[in-house]
Structure 1
Amino acid sequence: MRRAAVRIDAATPPQRDRAVDALRALAILGVVLGHWLVTALVADGGTLRAASPLGPMPWLAPVSWMFQTLAVFFMVGGHVATRSLASARARGGSYGAWLRTRLARLFVPVAAVLAVWTVAAVGLLLGGASFVTVHTVVKLALSPLWFLLVFAVLTAATPLLVRLNPLWPLAVVLHVDLVRFGLGGPSWLGWVNVVAGWLVPYTVGAAWTRGELERPRAGRLLLAGGAVATALLVGWAGYPASMVGVPGAAVSNLNPPTLAAVTFGLAQCGLALLLRDRLRRAMRGPLAWAAVALVNLSAMTVFLWHQTAMMVTTATGLFAGHLPGLHTVPDGLDWVAARLLWLPVFAVVLGVCWGAFHGCENSGGRRGRKSEGRSRVVRVGGRPKPSGSRETRHV
């Protein structure tokens, strides 16, 4: 493993900003762990229903602050997309070819998820599973796809967003919430924030590309301003403390995003920017960099299949009865302790899913590379192959 890590480290272009990859890996792993910790499937008679420990134990809300890292992912996505577009244009590439490359990496792996869960849903219904159970598991399995749709829209709009100030989409989110909560406006208006809310960190990433966020002062301003604004919104304006949705709650900060979720995301972006230099130093170690590189190579597979891994474990465990932390109501510390013990099992099952489906992600990358041409890569493998047959894989 150490020799492989050294080869990966040596093959990485020296100009690559490893902090970007580290932040993306941390954001993906944060989402995965967050879902595994705050999502429960409770066996209730002959059905499975979704529940969350954040309902009966609201004091666990800080868990959502640690693991709701989507804003960091969108910021990194905006930075990488705007930088990639500039690089493609400098090489004389077209916007259409660039966009096809980006979207192929997003959507090729989705086909496998949809195919598997279509067959699974039909099989469950024909096998006598209740509609409530099927609806619950399919919704959880496919819930990551909303992120891809929003991310695809923002990616396609990147040429229009290269110079956009994040204050503009932030103002949209503010006015939407004022109308919804302050003036009693229609609840459907909140869905405008699905795009506007995640556009805020995406354009922060574009500002990073423009070089406007290199000084520590920018990170401190985002961290302090976002944290103070979020505290005021939660403590004074009545926004939920949890930064993820809680079943049965009147308002969700995430579905659709609220002003509190966006300001909290800005605080996270500020912290991420402040950590860049430390991450760059940490990524000088071959083992740390190899781990981050491998997570990035499998980011889509991990993201798309982590809920499936949890549900496969839950369904299989039913053969042994109602197991604590897996099928029981999440209403006490005993459930939390038991759930922590299940996390390694979820990870092993996710590893099996990775082994079965990561080829779809690599296929999407290979298709994209044919149209994109040269790009920064990390070569993974043993000795270098002769020119023309060298295998390259994107991070």
Structure 2
Amino acid sequence: MAIVDTPRVTATPSRLSAGRDTGIDLLRAVCVVGVVLLHAIMVGVTVVDGAPVFVNASDGTRWIVPVSWLLQVMPLFFIIGGFAGLLAYRRQRDRGASASAFIAGRVHRLLRPAVVTIGAVGIALGVLSAIGVPAELIVIAGFRYGQPLWFLAVFLLCQALLPALARAHESMPKTTLGALALAAVLVDTVRAQTGLEGVGFVNLAFVWLALQQIGFFLADGTLDRLSGRTRALGGAAALIALVCSFVGGVHSPDLIANINPPTTALLLVGIVHLSAVSLLRDRIGAISRRPAVAAFSSFVNLRTMTIYLWHMPVLLAMAGLSAVWAATSGIALPAPSSTLWWASRPLWLASALVLTALVAVVFARVETRPSPSPTQSIIRVCAATALGLGGVLLLLVGGTSVLTATIAGAALLFAGRLARSSGQSARSERVTHIVGVA
């Protein structure tokens, strides 16, 4: 996701401000929808002997490979995040804002909508426990909810490091990107040579930071100064290298498998995405200005973080209600990957998009409220970032329960207070929108 500064919209909140890169906005919106669709199609729910069974419908299947090639959009997300983040940081810096203030604003905008979602999920899990839902089902629901939150933690880290990496880009752009990419390769190598899967999680930093750094080259015009032929050859070379890595067994052809932990395959995917976007940017921009497309893009971009945070609770609710309906009606749900299951996917996917959009309309006001004045203290900013990361990591590692949601929510709330300038009122003249997904 990317964070960009836009004038606060009051009278017509469904529209984004003028002067934006509408093509990039459209790409963000498409990526957000892609994330929702990907997670929705992976939901598998059946009823066995009167008890609901929730599984990942893509486990052990072949169809996930082409689907992952179509819907694995996270590399492009982080490239767009670097593009928008660098431009936003430079604008704020030109207005005299400090790096600490920039990071504090990002911490506040990322964590505030997350507190609401985490709190609501914690309450929901408590209610389910109180009405007698089996504990093992509640644990599964909490685990499934927490899985996508890795993005929140990683994006928070990337944004916190953005000012330092932006300065490095200005002085030694190729060296900085090369160092991040080389670090990611070394982590993959150590993981492969030792067989220690846990080592791969170090690339939660290096892979995504490298992709964010690639976005800087798009933002500063470096990529546009290259010929179309050079950009096309770069994308083709990355694609060939990616296919060779699949054939050679270096990476899985399932791009979803390359995200947990992240591998250098995602760097190659990002280069392919970037090449295609740069070559088609004018055409994408023209399409993005069509009225219907612009309305879609505006709707999603003004609610991106809300959509990302709420789409999984919506999918879990859909799965639970489907299981209850099947158990009470006696009508069997189709087995995942069966013909009937595929026949029902269009309705399932459409329902997921519509319900997520409705929920986003309700809760988007949390995301788009004016930001309080950010703190100028680097110590407070570092503490806020650490608290935010710690709260999200608790849900990722420990699972989401009433207890962990309470602790994580409190940590995120306190992080938001640390990121706020003490004794100053909220700014009303501008608002930072979190846009971009997935």
Fold shared by both chains (TM-score > 0.5): yes
Deviations 1:205-250 (A, max 9, x none): 1111222111334542442122111101111125321111xxxxxx
Q: CA deviation at 1:290?
A: 2.5
Which of 310, 316, 333 in structure 2 is aligned with 1:311? 316
Q: CA deviation at 1:289?
A: 1.7
**Following superposition of structure 1 onto structure 2, how do residues 282-301 of structure 1 map, counting pairs within 5 Å?**
282-301=287-306
Kept after mapping to 2: 8 A contact 1:71/1:269: no
| Aligned-partner Cα distance in 1 for 2:105–2:126 | 33
Kept after mapping to 2: 8 A contact 1:325/1:339: no
Residue of structure 2 equivalent to 1:332: 338
Q: CA deviation at 1:11?
A: 7.7
Which letter maps to 1:309?
Answer: V
Residue of structure 2 equivalent to 1:178: 189
| Aligned-partner Cα distance in 1 for 2:212–2:121 | 30
Structure 1's 59 and 189: CA in aligned 2 closer, same or farther, altered over 3 A?
same
Work out whether 1:168 is the aligned partner of 2:168. Answer: no
Which letter maps to 1:178?
Answer: T
Structure 1's 155 and 290: CA in aligned 2 closer, same or farther, altered over 3 A?
same
RMSD: 2.9
Which letter maps to 1:317?
Answer: S
Work out whether 1:265 is the aligned partner of 2:270. Answer: yes
Which stretch has the larger CA shift, 303-312 or 234-243?
234-243
Residue of structure 2 equivalent to 1:123: 127
Q: CA deviation at 1:89?
A: 0.9
Q: CA deviation at 1:304?
A: 0.9
Structure 1's 122 and 83: CA in aligned 2 closer, same or farther, altered over 3 A?
same
Residue of structure 2 equivalent to 1:358: 364
Work out whether 1:195 is the aligned partner of 2:205. Answer: yes
Kept after mapping to 2: 8 A contact 1:325/1:336: no
Number of residue pairs matched by the alignment:
361
5+ residue gaps, structure 2, are: 1-11, 376-427
Kept after mapping to 2: 8 A contact 1:49/1:132: no
| Aligned-partner Cα distance in 2 for 1:72–1:352 | 26
| Aligned-partner Cα distance in 1 for 2:14–2:364 | 22
**Following superposition of structure 1 onto structure 2, how do residues 1-395 of structure 1 map, counting pairs within 5 Å?**
12-13=17-18, 15-45=19-49, 46-53=51-58, 55=60, 57-162=61-166, 163=169, 164-165=173-174, 166-181=177-192, 183-214=193-224, 215=226, 216-217=228-229, 219-244=231-256, 252-321=257-326, 328-363=334-369, 366-367=370-371, 394=433
Deviations 1:261-305 (A, max 9, x none): 332232223222223211111122233222212210010111111
Greater relative CO (CA pairs within 8 A, separation 6+): 2
Structure 1's 91 and 20: CA in aligned 2 closer, same or farther, altered over 3 A?
same
| Aligned-partner Cα distance in 2 for 1:393–1:175 | 36
Which letter maps to 1:349?
Answer: L
TM-score, L = length of structure 1: 0.83
Kept after mapping to 1: 8 A contact 2:234/2:271: yes
**Aligned residues with identical type, % of pairs:** 27
5+ residue gaps, structure 1, are: 1-6, 245-251, 373-388
| Aligned-partner Cα distance in 2 for 1:150–1:359 | 24
